Amino acid sequence: MVLFVMRILGIDPGLQKTGWGIIETEGNAIHFTACGLIKTDADLTLAERLCQIDFGMQEVINAWRPEETAIEETFMNNNAASALKLGCARGVAMVVPARFNIPVYEYPANLIKKSVVGNGHATKVQIEVMVRTLVPMAGKTMGADEADAIAIAICHAHHAASRQRFGGIMAGAAR
């Protein structure tokens, strides 16, 4: 039996901090590869901060060469200006892998939480604890934003395995 091996980039987008995490899957096994943050300078204009995210994402992709990317879908909050800025950061985080011809998959927050913790309303602390349990090597260097990014990658790994098993037909994940 040949095991399917894949390197996945998970992205937790944000204008101040964009978390990223790389995992590799081999069959059902998940292995931690790397994680980090792309931080932007709050003193810069929105356009300049988006350029910082673009440059940071390019560095991550060039360094780690992921085969697929997963990102959290945008949720609407009460502050429209913040939501628009988050949408801009998310757009940049999505377009960079697309520019490298890397497929980008989107997942709603509650599906990510349910896939990793088993509860669609899990807290950030619960996600971080479960990610540290599933990929203990990540625990030494990982903060909350990196844990979220790894959780997104893990969610994608679970759903990618299902897509592979069922010939690409799967509900719940949009591409």
Summarised one tens digit per residue, pLDDT across range 9-59 is 999 999 999 999 999 998 889 999 999 999 999 999 999 999 999 999 999
Residues 145, 17: contact at Cβ < 8 Å? yes
Task: Write the single-letter amino acid at 135.
Answer: V
Confidence of residue 167 (pLDDT cuts 50, 70, 90): low
Q: What pLDDT is stored for residue 27 in this prediction? A: 82
* Phi, psi dihedral angles at 141 (to 5 degrees): -125, 0
Q: Is 72 among the residues known to form the active site?
A: yes
**What are the pLDDT digits (tens) for 137-152?**
887 778 999 999 999 9
Residue 4 has pLDDT above 80, yes or no: no
How far separated are the first and last CA of the chain, in Å rounded? 28
Residues 33, 23: contact at Cβ < 8 Å? yes
Confidence of residue 101 (pLDDT cuts 50, 70, 90): very high
CA distance 172 to 85: 26
Q: What is the mean pLDDT of residues 73-87?
A: 83
CA distance 61 to 52: 14
Confidence of residue 85 (pLDDT cuts 50, 70, 90): very high
pTM: 0.90
Spot the catalytic one: 24, 106, 128, 145: 145
Count of other CB atoms within 10 angstroms of residue 172: 11
CA distance 157 to 162: 9
CA distance 86 to 2: 40
Q: Is 12 among the residues known to form the active site?
A: yes
Spot the catalytic one: 72, 128, 146, 148: 72
Residue 8: strand, helix, or coil? strand
CA distance 99 to 142: 27
Residues 141, 35: contact at Cβ < 8 Å? yes
Residues 6+ positions from 59 with CB-CB distance below 8 Å: none
Element (H, E) at 144: helix 144-165
